[in-house]
């Protein structure tokens, strides 16, 4: 399948423009939507998930008009919002069975098999009889992932999905999403660069409602070859370096500041070439858009 977004714009009451002429084309596989908090990621996700109207533009899932044929889209959609509520007195197993029934899985035996498989995939099978109100934040997040996968969706949207997950849970989730992305469009909205570099074959950077970059992570890093340099400096000299260089990121080590800069030519002054990473790509676009330093 293919998801085609053209000229999508959205302005909220009060004049806040959440989306500004967004254009993206997504095919089967993992697509990362990377941006800071408040960048417009959730607004774009809610619009694609048929939860809010757009002011302008079109969204098509193959030939299906997402903005007009909402009921048909919802039958093909799996959605995990950034924040969601649960019925605290119902068990994980019972609630998942209920969601499966709502999604059209009518045969009890089929639902039981599906629910068991999903709970096992998100490492909750042993907790299936527990009430959702007793779940930790990470357990609720994993349950939310399971409910998003009911009905074999063709489009899956997950908004900040690794929040609250410990490293082992996060790795398990990575593997699950990677498997799903083989035959499904999976949109991963996050502000964590590692999520995108680990999972996604294509990605976009969004900030202040605008798409600043779209492409492949490897290609994006290649485009920065020979332009990233690093150096250790005394932390009290950072303001002086800010005035002279485009600083991508900083990290404090043993009382000194490790800085990475973007430069068209070798800057000298003790800087050494560094291999670009996706974080460098991200910070270079975000800093330019917001007209701030990334410190």
* 201 and 236 in a common domain: no
Give the residue-averaged pLDDT of 189-212: 90
* 254 and 201 in a common domain: no
CB 155 within 8 A of CB 74: no
Last residue of a domain, one of 166, 184, 216: 216
For residue range 19-50, list pLDDT tens digits in order.
999 999 999 999 999 998 888 998 999 999 99
* 70 and 25 in a common domain: yes
Number of structural domains found in the chain:
2
pLDDT of amino acid 54: 95
pLDDT of amino acid 291: 57
Q: Does residue 12 belong to any structural domain of this protein?
A: yes
**At 114, which CATH number?**
3.40.50.300
* 261 and 154 in a common domain: no
Last residue of a domain, one of 147, 181, 216: 216
* 252 and 151 in a common domain: no
* 211 and 233 in a common domain: no
Q: Does residue 265 belong to any structural domain of this protein?
A: yes
* 247 and 195 in a common domain: no
pLDDT at 101 exceeding the cut of 70: yes
Strands 29-34 and 17-27: unpaired
* 151 and 34 in a common domain: yes
d(CA 60, CA 69): 10
Its domain, for residue 47, covers: 2-216
Identify the band that residue 294 occupies on the pLDDT scale cut at 50, 70 and 90.
Answer: very low
Q: Does residue 285 belong to any structural domain of this protein?
A: no
Q: Is 221 helix (H, G, I), strand (E, B) or coil?
A: helix
Last residue of a domain, one of 198, 216, 234: 216
* 235 and 208 in a common domain: no
Q: Does residue 271 belong to any structural domain of this protein?
A: yes
For residue range 136-177, list pLDDT tens digits in order.
877 888 898 899 888 889 999 988 777 667 787 777 777 777
Q: Does residue 280 belong to any structural domain of this protein?
A: no
Q: Say which residue, 280 or 194, is predicted with more confidence.
A: 280
Distance (Å) of CA 203 to CA 78, 143, 188, 220: 19, 26, 9, 10
Q: Does residue 291 belong to any structural domain of this protein?
A: no
* 230 and 212 in a common domain: no
d(CA 118, CA 172): 13
Identify the band that residue 110 occupies on the pLDDT scale cut at 50, 70 and 90.
Answer: very high
* pTM across the whole model: 0.85
Give the residue-averaged pLDDT of 274-295: 79
CB 27 within 8 A of CB 200: no
CB 147 within 8 A of CB 97: no
Q: Does residue 288 belong to any structural domain of this protein?
A: no
Q: Does residue 59 belong to any structural domain of this protein?
A: yes
* 121 and 71 in a common domain: yes
pLDDT of amino acid 64: 96
* 201 and 55 in a common domain: yes
For residue range 207-249, list pLDDT tens digits in order.
999 999 999 999 999 999 999 999 999 888 888 998 899 999 9
């Amino acid at each position: 399948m293919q998801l085609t977004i053209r000229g999508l714009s959205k302005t909220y009451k009060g004049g806040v423009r959440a989306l500004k002429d967004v254009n993206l084309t997504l095919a089967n596989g993992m697509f990362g939507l990377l941006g800071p908090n408040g960048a417009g990621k959730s607004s774009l996700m809610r619009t694609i998930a048929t939860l809010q109207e757009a002011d302008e533009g079109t969204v098509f899932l193959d030939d299906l008009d997402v903005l007009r044929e909402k009921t048909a889209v919802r039958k093909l959609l799996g959605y995990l919002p950034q924040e969601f509520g649960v019925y605290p007195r119902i068990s994980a197993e019972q609630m998942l069975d209920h969601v499966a029934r709502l999604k059209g899985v009518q045969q009890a035996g089929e639902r039981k098999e599906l629910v068991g498989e999903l709970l096992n995939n998100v490492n909750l099978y042993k907790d299936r009889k527990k009430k959702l109100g007793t779940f930790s934040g990470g357990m609720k997040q994993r349950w939310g992932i399971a409910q998003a996968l009911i009905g074999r969706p063709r489009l899956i949207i997950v908004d900040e999905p690794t929040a609250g997950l410990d490293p082992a849970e996060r790795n398990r989730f990575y593997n699950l999403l990677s498997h799903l992305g083989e035959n499904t469009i999976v949109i991963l909205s996050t502000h964590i660069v590692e999520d995108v570099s680990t999972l996604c074959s294509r990605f976009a950077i969004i900030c202040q409602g605008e798409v600043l970059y779209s492409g492949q992570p490897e290609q994006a890093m290649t485009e920065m070859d020979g332009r990233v340099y690093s150096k250790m400096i005394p932390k009290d000299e950072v303001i002086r370096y800010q005035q002279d260089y485009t600083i991508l990121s900083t990290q404090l080590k043993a009382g000194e500041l490790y800085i990475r800069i973007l430069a068209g030519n070798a800057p000298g002054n003790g800087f050494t070439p560094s291999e670009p990473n996706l974080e460098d790509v991200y910070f270079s676009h975000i800093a330019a858009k917001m007209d701030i330093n990334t410190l």
